[in-house]
Amino acid sequence: MKRLVINLDRSPDRLARVTAEFVRIGVPFERVQAIDARDRPDLDQLPQNVGYRNRLPLTDGEIACLLSHRACWAAIAQGDARYGAIFEDDIVFAAKAGALLRDSDWIPADAEVVKLESYFCKTVIRRKRIAIGHGFSTSKLDAGHIGTAGYIISRQTALDLIKATEEIGIAVDDLVFNPEFSVLRGETIYQLVPALCAQDQFLGDRALQLPSLLREKRDIQCAAGTGRRRKTAIAKVKAEARRIGKRIADFCRLKRRMVIPFTYPSQSSAGS
């Protein structure tokens, strides 16, 4: 199984840090040169497929991120292995991550995507879990769980994603992990529990304060659009009723709403 890491040429410090992470868990990786929005002033001028458009147009950084992941999908699609793992260069691994990244035998037979990270927001997974050893289990993911800092995809899914992004229009994490936008609605997506990795930015005082390369411009856009997207009081009541109804339905269908936990390496025993 290929293990690919997306990294900008101008970020050797991030490459050094993520290299140390892979050394720590005893697993090699291949670097994939990230598309740099600074070198591509044309990106936010590219036509976007209105059929796939988000509420906000993609920023140049989001387009560069999508194209970088697309390069990884191409590498996986061109290979012989059934699965490949993709990581962004700000991830931190759980202590026993190496045991799962050395091979793909533990991946459920029907899995097309396995989300390895936690974005530390609530999502919905099936209550039924499959133990895969080393303290991890897999459970089918039944709701959106954004973030593409760590995930595994099948070779066929890589091909499907390449085809789906011949025209751009969706941020990569929405494309893969948001049911509202995802082109993978018919695919079986699993969540690893606890998470195998998490982005440095979520680790509080343990974080190295690696900045998000997309967050600043997106935050500006979101702030500018807040007034336009404000809900009326009636709409808010209806939305809350739908949310409560969905939680009851989820419980009846043997699903669980939760934040996917992640254990920082120093919190667990050493070794992989």
In the three-class reduction of DSSP (H, G, I as helix; E, B as strand; rest coil), residue 206 is classed as helix
pLDDT, tens only, 211-248: 555 444 444 443 444 343 344 667 777 777 777 776 66
Nearest by Cα to 2 from 103, 93, 119:
103
Instruction: Please tell me the distance from the alpha carbon of residue 178 to that of residue 185, in angstroms, as a whole number.
Output: 9
* Topology of the domain covering 2-267: Spore Coat Polysaccharide Biosynthesis Protein SpsA; Chain A (3.90.550)
Residue 173 tokens read as 């994490």
Q: Which residues contact 29 (CB under 8 A, 6 or more apart)?
A: 3, 4, 5, 18, 22, 87
pLDDT interval class at 26 (50, 70, 90): very high
Mean pLDDT of the chain: 84
Question: In the prediction, which pLDDT does 226 show?
Answer: 37
Residue whose entry in the numeric block shows the structure tokens 């969540």: 191
Question: In the prediction, which pLDDT does 186 show?
Answer: 66
Question: In the prediction, which pLDDT does 122 show?
Answer: 92
Strand partners, 4: 30, 86
